[in-house]
Homo-oligomer: A and B are copies of this chain.
Amino acid sequence: MATPRAVLFDVFGTLVDWRGSVIAGLSAFGAARAITADWAEIADSWRRAYRPSMDRVRRGAVPWTLLDDLHRDALMDIARRHGIGPLDDEDCTQLVQLWHRLVSWPDVVSGLDRIKRIAIIGPLSNGHLALQVALAKRNGFAWDVTFGSDLFRHYKPDPEVYLGACDLLALPPDQVMLAAAHNDDLAAAASFGLQTAFIARPAEHGPATGDRAKPSGPWTFIASSVDDLAAQLGA
């Protein structure tokens, strides 16, 4: 398989530690308001709402909705269930913005800088463009191209995201690689003809990560970090 001309990265979990960052942000919010709660459970609940909320958009049950707004709706519901509400508008905005300030895993910036020498690099995430720009600024991701779900008005694993990115890059899918910590994302990418790289993130879901951090398909590359992927690509 030839070296890809572009390597696109899933972001939540693959590049940034959403769980650790959201728990830290929620805990700080709670401390400032003297609210005690199981912030880890709240973070995990918030993330569990992610897939079903996007799936409602994907099957047309609700119109196109940005991830910030999906996050906001889920948060209000979770806050009610965990007895930490009601949250006012400003609280919600502040907490939804936690997803714009997620911290990257330690191997990411150096790995991206290496891969950038041999390929076009960019995010291919369900986050929208403004969120991707914020995460890149926050962490120093030196993207060559910035994709966001709002460019396609589709969420992964819809084909419009993967093939839309290839089309905008004017590259055939077999010259584009998706790197992700999630087997289902890679399975979709592979089904549309992209190369694939699994990046193991055994801490993504905390102690409950389990087999989700293990590759389950015939991915083009299997790596332990972005730096490791860079090395395997000869970058």
Contact = CB atoms under 8 A, between A and B. Distances in A.
Contacts of A84: none
Contact of A130 (B130, B136, B169): B169
Interface string A129-166: 11001001100001111101011000000000000000
A168 B148 contact: yes
A42 interface: no
Contact of A137 (B128, B129, B137, B144): B144
Interface in A41-72: none
A120 interface: yes
Given A129-B168, A130-B169, A168-B129, A136 B146 contact: no
A170 B136 CA distance: 16
B145 A133 contact: yes
A120 B145 contact: no
Contact of A169 (B129, B168, B170): B129
Contacts of A136: 144
7 contacts: A120-B137, A129-B145, A130-B170, A143-B144, A143-B146, A145-B146, A151-B151
